[in-house]
Chains A and B, each alone.
Chain A
């Protein structure tokens, strides 16, 4: 029992450490802005780290970017303006959701094309199967089927 308590205490301490993490405390006037801040910082990739959002990264540049997002939100900038502000400086790389444009048509298009191809394939297979089952029995097969049924009944 005592051991269990210790384990729980240690576990809680470990959790507390990870929660302290990278992110500073910010105050927002309204919950909407707070939500926008969280969404924006979760949707941008840290330019220094290979695959971490800026809300999850200890890199100095991520701190600077969070600070800038916060400042721009305080200045009343829209989400699009803030995203453009960042892309202008750090490039498309930072967007977890690449924008739809010439060079990303393939990226966004392939999943759609694949799903359509899958649907076509299913339709094609169902049709093929339906046609196969719809062919009627030849007289020979009919006679053999009757024989089998009759044998079953008489036994």
Chain B
């Protein structure tokens, strides 16, 4: 009898595997752990989109909880999330943009057309800052605390629900 039961072992193994694989099916395959959370915002030195003569570095992000949004004129989802970013700015969140792989002209046109929630925009035409941030497609958004440490990373489009459900609570948490 005992040996008979042993014959069910492969079936049990199969069922366990099936359940495991089934549960994994419902997960979002594009989800990634960010490598940058809890690390300092990478060092950089760049001009701003607004003023080619103004040089800024990572210290512009310290002193206050700041939301850093990586965007480009060429990126459709960036246009769609602009109303949410303007909303966040209205709620008193300090916003800084990284104009990623763009030209000054197109970047400025974009802000004129879709609104400008940003205190300033860091100009990153070659995508070097983006690379150090591990950005693999815009838009991406980083929450940086007052000490310049990245606390939260949002990949892709920010929906109106994301603003109230995840972004604002995170901002409050690190204030």
Whether A and B are associated in the same complex: the answer reads yes
Q: Which of B132-171 contact A (CB under 8 A)?
A: 132-137
Question: Looking across the interface, which residue of chain B has its beta carbon closest to that of A67?
Answer: B131
Q: Which bucket holds chain B's interface residue count?
A: 10 to 19
- Render A29-51 as a binary contact track against B, CB cut-off 8 A, 1 for contact: 00000000000000000111010
Contact call A50/B30, Cβ cutoff below 8 A: yes
Contact call B29/A50, Cβ cutoff below 8 A: yes
Q: How many A-B residue pairs have C-beta atoms within 8 angstroms? Tell me.
A: 36
Q: How far, in whole Å, are A46 and B32 apart by their CA atoms in the complex?
A: 12
Q: Say yes or no: A89-B33 contact (C-beta < 8 A), given A48-B137, A61-B137.
A: no
Identify which of A50, A59, A60, A89 contacts B134 (C-beta below 8 A).
A89
A93 at the interface (CB under 8 A from B): yes
Q: How far, in whole Å, are A113 and B133 apart by their CA atoms in the complex?
A: 39
Contact call B32/A89, Cβ cutoff below 8 A: no
Contact call B137/A90, Cβ cutoff below 8 A: no
A81 at the interface (CB under 8 A from B): no
Task: Decide if the interface of chain B is mainly helix, strand, loop or mixed.
Answer: loop
Residues on B with C-beta less than 8 A from A50 are 29-30
B21 at the interface (CB under 8 A from A): no
Contact call B136/A90, Cβ cutoff below 8 A: yes
Q: How far, in whole Å, are A74 and B131 apart by their CA atoms in the complex?
A: 19
Q: How far is the CB of A24 from chain B (nearest CB, A)?
A: 16
Contact call B35/A88, Cβ cutoff below 8 A: yes
Q: Count of chain A residues with Cβ under 8 Å from any Cβ of B?
A: 16
Q: How far, in whole Å, are A128 and B132 apart by their CA atoms in the complex?
A: 61
B127 at the interface (CB under 8 A from A): yes
Q: How far, in whole Å, are A68 and B101 apart by their CA atoms in the complex?
A: 16
Q: How far is the CB of A104 from chain B (nearest CB, A)?
A: 13
Q: How far, in whole Å, are A50 and B27 apart by their CA atoms in the complex?
A: 13
A98 at the interface (CB under 8 A from B): no
Residues on A with C-beta less than 8 A from B34 are 91
Q: How far is the CB of A139 from chain B (nearest CB, A)?
A: 29
Q: Which of B71-105 contact A (CB under 8 A)?
A: 101
Question: Looking across the interface, which residue of chain B has its beta carbon closest to that of A62?
Answer: B136
Q: How far, in whole Å, are A49 and B45 apart by their CA atoms in the complex?
A: 30
Q: How far, in whole Å, are A47 and B30 apart by their CA atoms in the complex?
A: 9
Contact call B35/A91, Cβ cutoff below 8 A: yes
Q: Say yes or no: A89-B30 contact (C-beta < 8 A), given A48-B137, A61-B136.
A: no
A87 at the interface (CB under 8 A from B): yes
A79 at the interface (CB under 8 A from B): no
Residues on B with C-beta less than 8 A from A88 are 35
A92 at the interface (CB under 8 A from B): yes
Q: Which A residues lie at the B interface, using CB under 8 A?
A: 46-48, 50, 59-61, 64, 68, 87-93
Known contacts A61-B135, A91-B32; 16 additional CB pairs below 8 A are A47-B136, A48-B136, A50-B29, A60-B101, A64-B131, A89-B36, A89-B131, A89-B132, A89-B134, A90-B35, A90-B134, A90-B136, A91-B33, A91-B35, A93-B32, A93-B33
Q: Which B residues lie at the A interface, using CB under 8 A?
A: 29-30, 32-36, 101, 127, 131-137
